[in-house]
Amino acid sequence: MENGYALRFAFLLLLLVLVFTSSGANDFEHCKSSIKEWASSSLRSDTDTKNGHILKDLLFFLHVPRTGGRTYFHCFLKKLYSSDLECPRSYDKLRFNPRKPGCRLLATHDDYSMMSKLPREQTSVVTILRDPVERVFSTYEFSVEVAARFLVHPNLTSVIKMSNRVRSKSGGISTLEIWPWKYLVPWMREDLFSRRDARKKKGPPYLYGNDSYDMKEVVMPLHDYVNHPVAHDLVHNGATFQVAGLTNNSNIREAHELRRCVITHKILGKYVLQVAKKRLDDMLYVGITEDHRESATTFANVVGAQVISQLMASTVNNSNTTEQGPPSSDSSIDATENQDNSSSTTEAKSENMTVGKLMETYETCISSLRSSQSQRRTASLKKVSPANFTKEARRRVPDNALKEIISLNSLDMELYKYAKEIFQKQHRTMEQELHDSVTPVSSHFLNKRRDT
């Protein structure tokens, strides 16, 4: 009798294994077919983009979070483009109206799928990538930093009410409205309140330890953060998914399912990586966060110089158009709204600007911006003391934790390596052109770079 039960149990167990195996195999084949079809379609459409290294009418800054893109926007792009040339944005998923007359600059956290809303043949794309391990650390730290600002309030309910009142009255933009922080910060904020309430209930003494990334009584440990489903969806391989256009902020209807397939069947990531690499190849500029000086120099000379030239030509054309009559083209990119104001503002930005002046302005701007960011970060992290995220604290993170982050970001590791190769080639080409031209700009730049 016992043998009969054992045989039936073994049979049922085998049946379950076969069912799950069959289900898994069917899911893999479905995922493989879907991703290959998407990749083939994406690569075909990307071939329509010609002369990727020449600035076109519209510049799309694909801002990967925590890569230093904010400094490029404020200290480069805002110095080049007047506000009336920026595309209007809605920070609820960062959507915008691409048909605004005179729209020349779009700088958002939107992924590459935004290109489906843009005039592809008239759009140039730029981006910056960062070492994936450093980007994961920075994303975790910034999530804590912003969430910690709310700890001055007695409870989470009062925070939510206060946030809603502020947004409804000011009409301004909050970090909580910007992707991916609109998901990451509330998650971390709730966690911080939960841990604070638990400490109050338990009472002292508190045994925090000396590892800022593993103070579970104060902050969600890094290990828990990187293994959470939210991080898998929003953080890990985030740069690859963003360049591929498959984030949860995507314009592609099937993006969620495709991303799930890659997360579930890691071998399928090679198709997504293929698309992302091809798109980097076609971009006007690819910067590297860690190569800060070289990246800034290259951006100023490759992108900045072309923007200056383009806007100066646009100013001249607008002046001629004003004298000769209305333009013959009705293109949404070439047309201008409130032309007199647009022309004068653009002229103020471009007429007296040079690459050398742009870099001098950038260096002053970035110094001020970093100072204000550092002060705000310090004030915020005091609220989660004794946790303190520093370079020294990062060096104490165990090797197995770093290896785990690397494993979870294998696509980003490969894309970052590829981006560095693209950047190095572009930087060498730029240096050679500057050397051949022997201009004051080149000597100012190259000498300053060699001195640092």
Distance of CA 284 to the CA centre of its chain: 17
pLDDT at position 175 over 80:
yes
Rounded CA-CA distance 382/373 in Å is 14
Q: How far is CA 189 from CA 106, 181, 184, 186, 358, in A?
A: 30, 11, 9, 5, 39
Which stretch of DSSP H or E encloses residue 61?
strand 58-62
Average pLDDT over residues 76-105: 75
Phi-psi group of 102: left, alpha or beta (phi > 0 → left; psi -120 to 50 → alpha; rest → beta): left
pLDDT at position 17 over 60:
no
More confident residue, 161 or 254: 254
> Helical H runs in 203-268?
222-227, 229-234, 238-244, 255-264
Provide the domain count of the chain: 1
Rounded CA-CA distance 112/394 in Å is 32
Which stretch of DSSP H or E encloses residue 107?
strand 105-108
What per-residue confidence (pLDDT) applies to 94? 47
Residue 160: which pLDDT band, with cuts at 50, 70 and 90? Answer: low
pLDDT at position 210 over 50:
yes
Average pLDDT over residues 210-222: 94
Average pLDDT over residues 82-89: 84
**Active site amino acids:** 120, 141
pLDDT at position 427 over 50:
yes
Q: Would 1 be classed as within a structural domain?
A: no
Residue 444: which pLDDT band, with cuts at 50, 70 and 90? Answer: very low
Task: Say which CATH number the domain at 95 has.
Answer: 3.40.50
Q: Which domain holds residue 223?
A: 58-308+352-451
Give φ, ψ of 288 to 5 degrees.
Answer: -125, 120
pLDDT at position 337 over 70:
no
Q: Would 345 be classed as within a structural domain?
A: no
What per-residue confidence (pLDDT) applies to 232? 95
Residue 350: which pLDDT band, with cuts at 50, 70 and 90? Answer: low
Question: Average pLDDT of the chain?
Answer: 82
pLDDT at position 102 over 80:
no
Q: How far is CA 66 from CA 72, 112, 395, in A?
A: 12, 17, 19
pLDDT at position 334 over 50:
no
What per-residue confidence (pLDDT) applies to 345? 42
pLDDT at position 89 over 90:
no
Average pLDDT over residues 177-195: 94
What per-residue confidence (pLDDT) applies to 78? 94
Q: How far is CA 141 from CA 39, 174, 215, 228, in A?
A: 33, 18, 13, 15
Q: Would 205 be classed as within a structural domain?
A: yes
More confident residue, 174 or 85: 85
pLDDT at position 127 over 90:
yes
Average pLDDT over residues 349-358: 81
pLDDT at position 336 over 70:
no
Give φ, ψ of 127 to 5 degrees.
Answer: -155, 170
> 233, 248 in Cβ contact below 8 A?
yes
Question: 285-288 and 58-62: which strand pairing?
Answer: unpaired
More confident residue, 299 or 340: 299
Average pLDDT over residues 366-377: 94
* DSSP assignment letter at 125: E
Most confidently modeled range among 152-166, 194-208, 216-230, 351-365: 216-230
Most confidently modeled range among 100-114, 140-154, 203-217, 222-236: 222-236
What per-residue confidence (pLDDT) applies to 440? 46
What per-residue confidence (pLDDT) applies to 443? 44
Q: Would 2 be classed as within a structural domain?
A: no
Average pLDDT over residues 286-310: 95
Q: Which residues pair with 285 in a beta bridge?
A: 126
Look at 25-39, 375-389, 433-447 and tell me which has the smallest mean pLDDT. Answer: 433-447
Average pLDDT over residues 159-182: 69
pLDDT at position 218 over 60:
yes
Question: 285-288 and 95-96: which strand pairing?
Answer: unpaired
DSSP 147-192: HHGGGGSSSHHHHHHHHHHHHHHH----GGGSTTHHHHHHHHHHHH
Tens-digit pLDDT profile for residues 26-43: 999 999 999 999 999 999
Average pLDDT over residues 215-233: 96
Q: Would 322 be classed as within a structural domain?
A: no
What per-residue confidence (pLDDT) applies to 434? 81
pLDDT at position 10 over 60:
no
Q: Would 330 be classed as within a structural domain?
A: no
Q: Would 374 be classed as within a structural domain?
A: yes
Q: Would 347 be classed as within a structural domain?
A: no
For residue 381, count CB atoms less than 10 angstroms from its CB and return exposed for 0-12, middle for 13-18, buried for 19 or more.
Answer: buried
Tens-digit pLDDT profile for residues 247-274: 999 989 999 999 999 999 999 999 999 9
